[in-house]
Amino acid sequence: MESRIVASLDLTDEKSLIKIASLIGENVFAIKINWPTVLSLGKTIIGRLSKFSKVICDFKLADIPNTHRLIMEQIADQNPWAVIAHAFVGKDSLSELVSSGTRIISVVSMSNEGSNRHLNPRWKELMEDALESGVYGIVAPGNNYGLLRQISSRKGNMKVFSPGIGAQGGSYIESIENGSDYVIIGRTIYSDEDPLSKVLKINLDIENHKF
């Protein structure tokens, strides 16, 4: 069975990052990297990690269409599997990203407490824009099951990626029960003294659970 883990390797030390990526790469669905990694190691880390797994760039892009186009041109040579962008910038900006040909995963809600004030209450409108722009997937919190369930029930063909697992209080089993296609897991994996065993255990727990 294909893994449902997106390993969020938010590491800035190249040796540790490559070591963990090479250990777990074949046993996860994808590796996600964020700004700390790219700012520390440069954009070529995207291409280098692609040897071990699909790579999702969590850039949470939120700009005008022209700037989105310029950014996508800069990373095209690294061939990321997917790029994450905010939905709140609207359909013109999202569609520009989609037209690059790289899969776009769009943030329609977040896992941190502060998002409940402005962002999360607007999830329905954000999802409409994401759907109409033709994005591949959306981000919905794996530590807020009520919201996750509502979002998942309207996902259409889009895949649901859920952070907020482990260190932020969510459970990967309950997250999948409430509609996640993939669970994004960072510290629980990369801070473990044996990241590969941790990944294999999570895969097994998910495989053995009756959903």
The answer to whether residues 161 and 180 touch, using CB atoms and an 8 Å cutoff, is yes
- Examine residue 139 and tell whether it contacts ligand BMP (CB under 6 A): yes
Instruction: Name the catalytic one among 43, 54, 60, 159.
Output: 60
Complex with ligand BMP: residue 44 or 112, whichever CB lies closer: 112
- Examine residue 163 and tell whether it contacts ligand BMP (CB under 6 A): yes
CA 81, chain centre distance (Å): 11
Task: Name the segment binding ligand BMP (CB under 6 A); options: 74-82, 123-131, 163-171, 197-205.
Answer: 163-171
Could you confirm whether 32 is annotated as catalytic? no
Q: How far apart are CA 105 and CA 96, in angstroms?
A: 13
Q: Which of 25, 80, 137, 164 binds ligand BMP (CB under 6 A)?
A: 164
How far apart, in Å, are the Cα atoms of 175 and each of 34, 88, 113, 132, 146? 22, 24, 17, 25, 10
- Examine residue 22 and tell whether it contacts ligand BMP (CB under 6 A): no
3-state secondary structure at position 138: strand
For ligand BMP, the binding residues (CB under 6 A) are 8, 10, 34, 58, 110-111, 139, 141, 163-168, 184-188
